[in-house]
Structure 1
Amino acid sequence: MRRLEPAALRRRTQAPSLESLGYAGLSAACREHSSQFAPEPETATDERSGLPIVYSPARAGRMGRPEGECVVCDELTCPAVDVLELPGGDRAWLTPNLYPICYPFETHQPASGIHLVHWSSLFHARGLHSAGEAGAAAILGQLARAEGFLLHHAPDSFPDTGEGHRGHVGIIKNRGRRVGGSVAHDHQQIMHMAMAPREPPLTVGMAPRLLLDTPEELVVERAHGLCTTLVPHAMSRPLHAFIVPHGPPVGWLHHLEADVLSAVATATAHLCAALDELMTEQFGEPAWNLIVHTGAGCAPLIEARPFTQPLGGYEHLGVWLSEETAAASAGRLRGAVRERSKA
């Protein structure tokens, strides 16, 4: 099975942990390895939606590697800045993103920040979607620790966002080329930035409503009684789903209790595998995004947005059309998750 050899990862490790580097050292590592592909320092704001816009002409050249090549297995990524041993001798690690959306400019700019890639496995065909409970908990735990490190160690050039945090964190997963996944080797992304993403504030207070208002037919899984995977009643696209931790909202992954974070990790691994299976059966390949909604008043929430339908003109006008009911999507996901959890 194709993989990055552990010895190769050791050779390409700049630091064993983010803590050993510090925020300044991490910024220097990002400047050293991704300066040629940095975004434009200035941003814009869409006057209708309020969405921030980042300009990165360099990213236009990142797609389309030849079939059979892998930047991870072929040792072409930036060096590792945080390495974690997983069950079975596997590894998860963080690197600077070669094509960052935000960047540690020498002087603070609207697009200032740090953009990291979180690789889930040495093996090309493995990752979060194939991880067992212990492996999934370790992978998500490393991501949560990175989230906390970035928020708690950022310099005072980043805005004070409360609870000892500076700046904002955005965590995503792109699975498939149709949804921005330019590298097939399993990974997540975490970005620390001065500008605030638009989506998380819109989900404040959403978690308790989802848990209270979702009928049983829309529940996909309850992981260890600590979180629920569900399809929202107002589903805008087939297979759209949320993972909702139980209890009061704590805002960020690194604020979740260890047992809740572990349950969320299990649910995330099951949902990723289910989406891969169902979309490959229907479309020949997976194409979905995972978004982690964090911030004051968030649960946090993990949202899966599959590319199961293209956007049409009416969607751009503001009227959504879904080609499947929420109950049908929940049933398909539930069946796939049950099969995955038996494995």
Structure 2
Amino acid sequence: MDTPIKLTKDILLELAEVEDMASLSAEAMRDFFREEIPKLPHLPSSKVVHDPRNQLPIFYSPGRQNRPFIAKEDRSCPICEGNLTGIIDLCHLSGEEYAFINKNLYPISVPQGIAHEKNNNWGLHFLLWPSNIHERRFENMEINIAHKVLSRVILLEKILLNSSLLDKGYFAFIRNEGQSVGGSVYHDHFQMLYSNQEPLSFREDRNFYEKHGVGPTQILHEEISTELIVLSQGEWQLVVPPYIKRPYELMIYTPNRSNVHLNSLSETSVRDLTFLLQKSFQLQTSLFKHLGKDKAYNLICHNSGYGSIYFELFPMVQPLGGFERLGLYLSQGDPIEGAELYRQLLFS
């Protein structure tokens, strides 16, 4: 049997600029990023262009096309070899296992120029690695370990959103799984971006809240049928929304109106969310195996502060066509049938 590939404790400690980011201010984090800029192989453009039709922010970073793609079967992993930027959080999980957060080697934003200028691309782009062990995945961790990992993201969000780095900052939390949807390295990871640019999905949530006085998930919760519920855990629901644009899309939401950011969740709520995130990722493995396709999906977090927090998961099972780009969506899968398949996969 092959020896498990992992990033060793010695290398982790050597890379660690700080072991516990709880001791860091947001300003200190920004300074760590600024010190890293001269070492980065590719920098993003300092300018952001906004589409005048909807104010969509567009970043330019040609260097990201040079990111290496490391497939599952590759035995050489640059992460496990320590080819990383400085670590700003090192969390001991158990034994010789650690989770850690570092700066993205191919960032879409860096802290450059005047942070408060609308057309200036200013941001801090992080990576969360749930484990230094190559084959360990967030979805297959023991629940208490995965909970501990997610709690590091929550702490990072709290530090940044409560800071004065920006007049108004936005904390994005995503996962790309599969090369066709932006994933480049098999070693499990998530991305976080603290930016001066409001994501379009956050703006849509804000506009909805300002119009209706509640977030979109409050309306969904009042109207969702039991046929669309895949799994419930505590106050959280894992559902197939009735308005999916593509087959098998999922949403994880809570109707609790006080939960507007990750850091507003109780410990019990975080644990329940961790459980449903794990189940949703496990379902993607089962779904793509069932479909005979390579696994590819995106996860995004709606933590805009307007309405209850929720997550969306988008499996790549149907490409975009011309009508979709025009704004007329055709889903080749029915929401109720999708939820039924997920329940079968969940309990099979």
Q: Shared fold by TM > 0.5? A: yes
Secondary structure of the structure 2 residue equivalent to 1:211? helix
Establish whether residue 56 from structure 1 lines up as the match of residue 61 from structure 2: yes
Which residue identity is paired with 1:79? G
Which stretch of the first structure deviates more once superposed, 246-255 or 75-84?
246-255
CA distance in 2, matches of 1:106, 1:54: 15
Does the CA contact (< 8 Å) of 1:38 and 1:99 recur in 2?
Answer: yes
Over residues 23-82 of structure 1, what are the superposed CA-to-partner deviations in whole Å (9 max), with x where a residue is unaligned? Answer: 232223223334432211111011223210011111121143584332211211112110
Unmatched segments (≥5 aa) in structure 2: 210-214
Which residue identity is paired with 2:194? H
Establish whether residue 307 from structure 1 lines up as the match of residue 310 from structure 2: no
CA distance in 2, matches of 1:29, 1:48: 36
Given candidates 5, 8, 13, the residue that maps to 1:10 is 13
Establish whether residue 149 from structure 1 lines up as the match of residue 159 from structure 2: yes
From the superposition, tell whether residues 235 and 307 of structure 1 become closer, same or farther in structure 2 (CA, over 3 Å).
same
Q: Tell me how far 1:328 sits from its aligned partner.
A: 1.7
Q: Tell me how far 1:191 sits from its aligned partner.
A: 0.7
Given candidates 148, 159, 165, the residue that maps to 2:167 is 159
From the superposition, tell whether residues 249 and 240 of structure 1 become closer, same or farther in structure 2 (CA, over 3 Å).
farther
Does the CA contact (< 8 Å) of 1:34 and 1:99 recur in 2?
Answer: no
Query: 2:199 is matched with which residue?
Result: 197
CA distance in 2, matches of 1:34, 1:68: 30
Query: 1:164 is matched with which residue?
Result: none
Query: 1:220 is matched with which residue?
Result: 230
Which residue identity is paired with 1:288? Y
CA distance in 2, matches of 1:280, 1:136: 24
CA distance in 2, matches of 1:186, 1:76: 15
Query: 2:331 is matched with which residue?
Result: 322
Given candidates 77, 86, 95, the residue that maps to 1:79 is 86
How do 1:37-52 residues align onto structure 2 when only pairs under 5 Å count?
37-52=42-57
Query: 1:163 is matched with which residue?
Result: none
Which residue identity is paired with 1:57? P
How do 1:1-343 residues align onto structure 2 when only pairs under 5 Å count?
1-35=4-38, 36=40, 37-65=42-70, 67-87=74-94, 89-105=96-112, 107-108=114-115, 110-155=120-165, 158-160=166-168, 167-203=169-205, 204=209, 205-223=215-233, 225-338=234-347
Aligned length: 330
From the superposition, tell whether residues 286 and 34 of structure 1 become closer, same or farther in structure 2 (CA, over 3 Å).
farther
CA distance in 1, matches of 2:227, 2:95: 37
The alignment's C-alpha RMSD in Å is 1.9
Does the CA contact (< 8 Å) of 2:70 and 2:186 recur in 1?
Answer: no
CA distance in 2, matches of 1:92, 1:278: 27
CA distance in 2, matches of 1:230, 1:77: 37
Over residues 125-179 of structure 1, what are the superposed CA-to-partner deviations in whole Å (9 max), with x where a residue is unaligned? Answer: 2121212221221121111111111111242xx124xxxxxx1111111111111
Normalised TM-score (structure 2): 0.89
Which residue identity is paired with 1:257? S
Normalised TM-score (structure 1): 0.90
Unmatched segments (≥5 aa) in structure 1: 161-166
CA distance in 2, matches of 1:135, 1:335: 27
Secondary structure of the structure 2 residue equivalent to 1:221? strand
Secondary structure of the structure 2 residue equivalent to 1:86? strand
Does the CA contact (< 8 Å) of 2:135 and 2:187 recur in 1?
Answer: yes
Over residues 92-151 of structure 1, what are the superposed CA-to-partner deviations in whole Å (9 max), with x where a residue is unaligned? Answer: 110001111111115435211111001111222212121222122112111111111111
Does the CA contact (< 8 Å) of 1:200 and 1:298 recur in 2?
Answer: no
CA distance in 2, matches of 1:38, 1:90: 32
Secondary structure of the structure 2 residue equivalent to 1:275? helix
